[in-house]
Amino acid sequence: MASLKSVSSWSEEVDVVICGYGCAGASAAIEAYDTDPSARLLIIEKAPQEYAGGNCRVSGQSLLISKNKTALKDYQRAMSTANPIPEDILEDWADRMVNLEPWIQKIARDADAEFLRGTGFTERDAVLEFPEMGAREAVAYTSTILPIPSGVWLALQANVEKRGVPVWFDAPLVDLIQDPDTLEVFGVWVEKDGVRQAIRARKAVILSVGGYEADPEMQKNYYGLSDVCPLGTPYNTGDGVRILQKAGAEMWHLRNQGQSGGIWPGIKRPDDETSFLRNFLLPAFSWIDVDRTGRRFYGETNELQLTHYKHRKHGRWVDVPLHTAHPVHMIFDETTRRAGKLVLDVMTWSAVVKKYPWSEDNSDEVASGLIRKADSIEALAGLIGLSPEILSAEVSAYNAACEAGEDAEQGRNPETLMPIAQGPFYAVQLTPAIVCTGGGARRDMDGRVYDHKGSAIPRLFEAGELGSIFSDLYQNGSYLTEAMITGRGAARAALATVPVKTAAE
């Protein structure tokens, strides 16, 4: 932290500083303005203007709508048995969730956008991740705001702009300005135009700067993951976690039982910061994934996107071990190569924001060497550093399962058992890809940040994925809606705070 002694003069004085301009930050700004239009607000955002929006901009845009508070609580409690969410927080969260739908619909209307019942990707009315835990009763339906991609973010952004809330872009948060004894927060240090500036927050500071998924060292040291890559914004590099630790906050959910958002099969070009997501809607199935030994290790074509790449092992839902099996290769034939793009055009920073090209039939990627090509499986194995004998035997065993109509080894959906038979043959390395991280400071649903003794740190609030309440499994559409309700709650609580007075005042 930085003390008041570090400040010789304030560059700016506002009522509330909102740090981070994604779903939570935008929701906080909208709620703060609507609560008190006379309040002086400022959003500071680390990314340049063209790259603002955080993970919200490139997520699946799913919004969980629930009509049954008791069922929703029971469902989330069942998903959190490995690390239970406190009952008072669960109660408050569920209450706000069942009352959120009208606000989302208003956000869409005010942005001249369409609120859609459904995901926007498929004909499904609702994504039910864990029905045996109560998903069917808890989830009324899945919703979104069009267009796909980025409709939710575009609607939030339009609402912030409509209200005229100022935003500083290219302005990363450097530190909080605090009393080292009481931990009371008075403002923030921000770097803007290469200069550090002190901004006074008369009422409060709201941190909504996202997680640490784009920081490789934090992934290793906080989660034990190596060689992983973000699917979302490359600007989430753990700034909030570091600052909250310095601020004296009690941390939680830094290391859940599994990655709540999942570890997905990505495809990363060598020089990119972020990863594409392998196309889970690919219409051809003549492919398998193999681990570092050249062997299959899970049911690849089962609809794992519906459980955020969790599968059931030993009676529990756990991450598909793409990270421990790494390096993983997708092995496929000419039929799959011609069937369509191996990657999705949505749901990733690479596709949506950077708009990196990918050829329709994957031929450009073959030509570039990203996808390796050979006339035989044995020759292909040599190109990717695997044993020709082992890989050939694995493909033969898989093809035999296709002929038998049953995958006894990995339990793959029989409808997707298509042999790898049409040469030439191909391989592409998969990157374990991360949606987000949820660790941060312990908080309540109004975003109050708590210290190691269980007391709220004065004038400090937190919202969104940073410090998320989710402690293990996650239901589709919960992260964005949690960002909305915590952003709104933090805004109301921040504005209700009595303004701080300096000694001179």
Domain ranges of the chain: 4-255+435-495, 263-434
What pLDDT, on the 0 to 100 scale, is given for residue 223? 87
Residue range 407-442, pLDDT digits in tens = 999 999 999 999 999 999 999 999 999 999 999 999
What's the pLDDT score for residue 18?
Answer: 98
Q: CA 478, CA 231: separation in Å to the nearest integer?
A: 18
**pLDDT at residue 119, as a whole number:** 83
Is residue 44 within a helix (H) or strand (E), and if so which, with residue range? Answer: strand 41-44
User: So what's the pLDDT on residue 377?
Assistant: 98
Strands 41-44 and 12-19: parallel
Spans of the chain, pLDDT less than 70: 502-505
Q: Which tokens in the block code for residue 139?
A: 């989830």
Give me the pLDDT at residue 60, please. 92
Rounded distance between C-alpha atoms, residue 64 and residue 125, angstroms: 11
SS3 state at 135: helix
Q: Are 21 and 53 in contact (CB under 8 A)?
A: yes
Q: For residue 305, which phi and psi values (nearest 5 degrees)?
A: -65, -20
- Residue 503: its pLDDT value, please? 54
In sequence order, what DSSP letters do the residues of 297-326 get, joined into one string?
Answer: -S-TTS-GGGGTSEEEETTEEEE-SHHHH-
Neighbours of 362 (CB within 10 A): 22
Q: Which fold has domain 4-255+435-495?
A: FAD/NAD(P)-binding domain (3.50.50)
Write down the pLDDT at residue 312: 93
CATH number, domain 263-434, options 3.40.50.300, 3.30.70.270, 3.40.710.10, 3.90.700.10: 3.90.700.10
Residue type, 379: A
Entry pTM: 0.96
pLDDT computed for residue 125 by the predictor = 87
Specify the pLDDT at position 217.
95
N-term to C-term CA, the chain: 24
Burial class (CB in 10 A: 0-12, 13-18, 19+), 60: buried
